[in-house]
């Protein structure tokens, strides 16, 4: 699609005739320079033929106006002039013109120039659109992949991290702590008498209780590097990279009190009329000969001791505290 901007009707007719044999080239004409940019916005040409000398303005002013307009800034512009002076050509190209023709060129040259620039412009538009479509596809794929990753890392019932991600996370943090010679603490949490709870109130109520416990313990974890996960069944785990035993014990006790503070009725409990949790705490500094499973075993042993000693309590690993 060609837009000719020229105040001389005889030139417009000559150009129209030159392009008339080309059925796939639509011809539009504008004789008034003050209407040129607006008409270009409406017509959306693939090539603009711009006369260099027009009444009230010069063609280069219009060339700069096209380039300043979002709708026409990339449209190829062929400047038409009666002169073939290097300085005028240089000024035209400096203003943003793509080509320069001395009018009136013969039909073959005009058609060849129009087709070349039009094809280049259409190819650019198609390439840019394809790139934008590719970017949109990539962004959508990224969103899908992130959601899939979230789903594969999350526990469907509680929304916490699942056991698979817990294992990956603990392994990575264990290796980091070994490099930095820092501590890693682990809390193992068990809902007391959960099977009797299910037997008494039903599995739907049991699921709701697990969600409530998950929300409560997650609320106490504020550091971005910490992780709360559902370890399995009614068990939860909290990984505290860089946290010492004192902080881990304090956090465990706060979680125990918070869950008790929910005052969820539990007729099947032997330790309280409300739902409670037991917590095992372990803190270790990784070494080359000590695997992360040692931390899990230490926290699990502490949890077992808390349950053995009556539940609804926090117990600390003897590997850290030295207690019996």
Catalytic residue list: 234
In the chain, what is the straight-line distance between the N-terminal and C-terminal CA atoms, in Å?
89
Q: Are 112 and 92 in contact (CB under 8 A)?
A: no
Q: Are 279 and 303 in contact (CB under 8 A)?
A: yes
Q: The tokens of 307 are what?
A: 């349950």
Q: Are 3 and 45 in contact (CB under 8 A)?
A: yes
By C-alpha distance, which of 297, 287, 285 is closest to 243? Answer: 285
Q: The tokens of 215 are what?
A: 């929300």
Cα gap 43→37, rounded to integer Å? 10
DSSP assignment, residue 43?
H
β partners of residue 227: 239
């Amino acid at each position: 699609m060609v837009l000719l901007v020229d105040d001389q009707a005889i030139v417009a007719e000559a150009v129209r005739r030159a392009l008339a044999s080309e059925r796939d080239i639509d011809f539009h004409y504008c004789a008034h320079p003050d209407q040129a940019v607006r008409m270009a916005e409406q017509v959306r040409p693939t090539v603009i033929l711009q006369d260099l000398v027009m009444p009230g303005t010069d063609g280069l002013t219009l060339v700069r106006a096209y380039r300043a307009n979002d709708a026409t800034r990339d449209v190829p512009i062929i400047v038409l002039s009666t002169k073939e002076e290097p300085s005028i050509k240089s000024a035209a190209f400096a203003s943003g013109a793509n080509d320069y023709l001395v009018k009136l060129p013969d039909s073959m040259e005009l058609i060849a120039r129009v087709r070349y620039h039009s094809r280049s412009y259409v190819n650019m538009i198609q390439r840019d659109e394809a790139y934008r479509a590719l970017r949109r596809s990539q962004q959508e794929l990224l969103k899908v992949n992130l959601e899939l990753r979230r789903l594969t890392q999350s526990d469907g019932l509680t929304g916490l991290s699942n056991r698979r991600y817990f294992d990956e996370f603990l392994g990575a943090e264990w290796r980091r702590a070994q490099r930095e010679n820092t501590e890693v603490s682990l809390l193992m949490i068990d809902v007391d008498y959960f099977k009797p709870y299910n037997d008494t109130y039903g599995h739907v109520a049991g699921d709701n209780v697990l969600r409530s416990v998950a929300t409560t313990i997650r609320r106490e974890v504020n550091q971005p590097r910490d992780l709360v996960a559902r370890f399995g069944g009614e068990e939860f785990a909290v990984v505290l990279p860089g946290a010492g035993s004192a902080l881990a014990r304090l956090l465990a006790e706060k979680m125990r009190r918070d869950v008790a503070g929910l005052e969820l009725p539990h007729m099947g409990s032997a330790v309280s009329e409300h739902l409670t949790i037991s917590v095992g705490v372990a803190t270790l500094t990784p070494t080359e000969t000590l695997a992360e499973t040692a931390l899990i075993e230490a926290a699990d042993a502490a949890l077992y001791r808390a349950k053995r000693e009556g539940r609804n309590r926090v117990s600390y690993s003897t590997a850290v505290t030295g207690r019996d």
